[in-house]
């Protein structure tokens, strides 16, 4: 998956916005104002931080050693840093979906209702 495909996939999700809150090289995707994906544009190949269930992270990091590892500048238990061009496209979309779903599930019920009404 390239940067444009990653962006298009993220931005197509319900309630998602994008911005550069930290610097000009890190594109951040939020659902209802909570981050679920960060894309490091300066990296070559490009990497993305995606939230992940800690138990699932262990297996992914073992299977994709050097391509998926603890989140860069993030809680390494809860976030993975993923080489989006070097792991299978289907896995990247699955990890984006997983991250989005984890964040949505953590939103207050009122905010989840607002999201469902968009």
pLDDT in tens, 10-56: 999 999 999 999 999 999 999 999 999 999 998 889 999 999 999 99
The whole-model pTM stands at 0.95
Within-domain flag for 117: no
Domain that holds residue 96: 3-109
115 in any annotated domain = no
Which ranges of 1-118 would DSSP assign to H, the alpha helix?
A: 3-11, 54-63, 89-106, 109-116
The DSSP 8-state label assigned to residue 39 in this structure reads E
Domains contained in the chain, number: 1
- Output the six-digit token pair for 64: 């994709």
């Amino acid at each position: 998956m390239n940067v444009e495909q990653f962006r298009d996939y993220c931005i197509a999700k319900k309630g998602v916005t994008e911005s550069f809150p930290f610097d000009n090289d890190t594109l951040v995707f939020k659902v209802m104002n909570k981050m679920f994906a960060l894309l490091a544009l300066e990296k070559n190949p490009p990497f993305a931080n995606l939230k992940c269930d800690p138990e699932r992270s262990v297996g992914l990091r073992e299977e994709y050693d050097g391509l998926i590892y603890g989140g860069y500048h993030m809680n390494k238990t809860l976030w993975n840093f993923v080489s989006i061009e070097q792991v299978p496209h289907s896995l990247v979309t699955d990890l984006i979906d997983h991250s989005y779903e984890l964040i949505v599930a953590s939103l207050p019920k009122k905010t989840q209702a607002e999201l469902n009404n968009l």
